[in-house]
């Protein structure tokens, strides 16, 4: 069973977008997938409910409950955890005994980079991270690759203590699909396939765990 936590202390980084699309990919790949929504806003849980009638549903669990682990069904093959908003490194540590990988989405702005750097530096001090028990990857999210700001952001992210495992372009498609309980992986048009390609490096990284 592969277990992934998506977290950043900086709000609005696209944490739920990464979690829901990743969960949808696993479900599309035939894996029994659980999406644990630990954020009180409940966006991921709501997405799962909208997806309930889909041919590849994702089971939602309320991660705000302390006993959520006991409700993970036998036979679950993939668990994606959408972390609470404004989570601190010390709070992340409470999840790590049950996690194989931590993904940290970061937006291409000076404010986001500075806030995320503080969070990432705190993550690097956690014992299970230092011992290599949990893999950590940075996800550059909502990029506009044609802009200087995004290009500079990518260069700065390469200085973080963890690898840059994905560069996800900004697209209204993610917003529209989220409202339907769908994902970038539920469609096959040429335009959508180009966005799916943004995820390939991340998916290959996860397969190595």
- pLDDT per residue over 130-160, tens digit each? 999 999 999 999 999 888 888 888 999 999 9
List the one residue out of 101, 83, 92, 76 whose CA is nearest residue 13. 83
Domains contained in the chain, number = 1
For residue 166, give the CATH number of its domain.
Answer: 3.40.50.300
18-55 residue pLDDT tens: 999 999 999 999 999 999 999 989 999 999 999 998 99
In tens, the pLDDT along 90-143 reads 999 989 988 999 999 999 988 999 999 999 999 999 999 999 999 999 999 999
Range of the domain at 200: 2-207
Going from the C-alpha of 129 to that of each of 4, 97, 99, 147, 162, the distances in angstroms are 14, 11, 11, 33, 10
Counting Cβ atoms within 10 Å, is residue 136 exposed (0-12), middle (13-18) or buried (19+)?
buried
Rounded Cα distance between 72 and 69, Å, is: 6
C-beta of residue 123 within 8 angstroms of C-beta of residue 96: no
Which residues lie across from 62 on neighbouring strands?
37
- Phi/psi for 165 (5° steps) reads -105, -5
pTM of the model: 0.95
């Amino acid at each position: 069973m592969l277990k992934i936590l998506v977290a950043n202390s900086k709000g609005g980084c696209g944490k739920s977008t990464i979690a829901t699309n990743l969960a949808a990919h696993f479900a599309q790949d035939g894996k029994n997938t659980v999406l644990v929504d630990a954020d009180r806003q409940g966006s991921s849980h709501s997405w799962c409910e909208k997806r309930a009638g889909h041919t590849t549903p994702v089971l939602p669990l309320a991660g705000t409950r302390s006993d959520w682990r006991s409700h993970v069904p036998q036979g679950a093959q993939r668990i994606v955890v959408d972390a609470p908003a404004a989570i601190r490194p010390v709070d992340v540590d409470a999840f790590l005994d049950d996690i194989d990988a931590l993904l940290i989405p970061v937006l291409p702005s000076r404010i986001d980079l500075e806030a995320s750097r503080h969070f990432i530096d705190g993550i690097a001090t956690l014992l299970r991270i230092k011992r290599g028990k949990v893999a950590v990857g940075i996800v550059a999210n909502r990029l506009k690759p044609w802009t200087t700001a995004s290009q500079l952001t990518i260069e700065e992210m390469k200085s973080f203590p963890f690898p840059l495992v994905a560069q996800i372009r900004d697209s209204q498609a993610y917003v529209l699909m989220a409202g339907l309980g769908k994902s970038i992986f539920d469609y096959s048009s040429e335009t959508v396939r180009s966005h799916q390609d943004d995820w390939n490096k991340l998916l290959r990284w996860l397969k190595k765990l």
